[in-house]
Amino acid sequence: MTETMTVVRALNEGLRRAMQDNPRLLLMGEDIGTLGGVFRVTDGLQKDFGAQRVIDSPLSESAIIGTSVGLAVAGYRTVCEIQFDGFVFPAFNQIVNQVAKMHKRTDGIYTMGVVIRLPFQGGIGAIEHHSESPEAYFAHTPGLRVVSCSTPHDAYWMIQQAAASDDPVIFCEPKSRYWDKGEVATDAPTHGLYEAVVVRPGSDITMVGHGSYVKVMLKAAETAQAEGRSIEVIDLRSLAPLDLETIEASVKKTGRLVVVQEAPHSASVGAEIVSEIARRCFYELRAPALVVSGYHVPFPISRYEDVYRPSVERILDGVDRVLEYDS
C-alpha cells in the first residue's frame, strides 16, 4: 500500500505504529503532548495514547535524556524530542557519558533503547541556535548510532527501526524538509536502518550527502545532466555507522567523489568519508575527492544563511573542480 505524506506526517504515523507495536515505548519532550511539538510531529499522540506515554517534560534537555536512561534500565524504550538542534548541548553530558556508554559499562546487562529526535540543519530563516549541524559530535562517539532521513518513506520506516533498536540512536530530521511530500510504502521497509541508497544512478561522478541536501544534490545532478555530466547521487541515511561499501562500489565505477554537507568541513562526516574512500579507492580515483560544505564559522543570522549553506551553484563548482583533472 502506498500513500502520499509529508515528512512530518510520516514521522507521526511511524511513531504511532511503533507505540502500537510496543506498549513499553514512551515519548518525552518539551511541548510534545498538548501542543504536538513545535513542528507538530507528535500531534494527536497524547490524545490517543495518554499523558503517561506521551510526556510533556520540563524545560530541561539534560533531565529528558537522564530520565530516558533510567527508563531504559527499567526495561522501557523512549523516543525523546529535542526541539531544535542547538538545544541538544545541555544534554551532551548525559548523551556521551551515559546513553552511549551504559551498555559497555554494564557488560551488556543493560541496553539503551533510546532515540533522540534532533531537528537539524538550516533553511528555515531561524534565529541563533536553531540551525545547527551537530551530527559529527555524535558520529564521533562510540556507542551511538546516528541516522538521518530525507524522504517521507524513510522518515516513516527509519523512526520505527530506530525505536526498535537496542542501541541508542541520534535521529537527525532535516527541518527544512518537514513539509516536503512523497510516496510512503506502508507495507514493508525497503532498506535497513544503516544502509546508504543510490537515489540517482550515474557514471561520471559519485555525489554523497544526507538530510536536506539529498534534494539539493538531485537538483544539481539534473542541472549537470543538461551539460552532459552524469552524477550518481547517494543518500547516506546513516552517519554512524557509515555504509562505506556502497560509496566504495560507486566510486570504483565513477572514479570521482564529491561529498556535500551543511556542517563545516573540519573533522566532519564528509572529511571521514573522503579519508576512507581515498584509502579504499586509491587506484580507482581519477581526481582528489572534494567536500562542499558550510564555512568554518558559526551558523549566521538568517539573512546570510543562503550564503553559508552550499547551493546548487557551489556544488556544481565542486563538480567542475574534480573534472578539471581530465583536462
Partners of 80 in the beta sheet? 28, 116
Torsion of CA 151, 239, 242, 248, to 10 degrees: 60
Active site residues: 130
Helices (H), 22-100: 45-49, 61-73, 92-94
DSSP string, 5-45: EEHHHHHHHHHHHHHHH-TTEEEEETT-SSS--TT-TTTTH
Inter-CA distances, 63 with 19, 79, 80, 167, 191, Å? 22, 14, 11, 20, 34
Residues 183 and 6: their CA atoms lie apart, in Å, by 9
- Classify the C-alpha dihedral 207-125-138-112 as positive or negative: negative
Q: What is the DSSP letter of 96?
A: I
Of 117, 214, 119, which Cα lies nearest the Cα of 169? Answer: 117
- Contact (CB, 8 A) for 206 and 232: yes
Element containing residue 239 per DSSP (H, E): strand 238-240
Q: Which residue has the cell 533531565?
A: 63
Residues 289 and 297: their CA atoms lie apart, in Å, by 23
- Contact (CB, 8 A) for 167 and 110: no
- Cα angle, residue 250 at apex, residues 248 and 255 outer, rounded to 5°: 90
Other beta carbons less than 10 A from residue 28's beta carbon: 22
Write out the three cell numbers for 168: 541508542
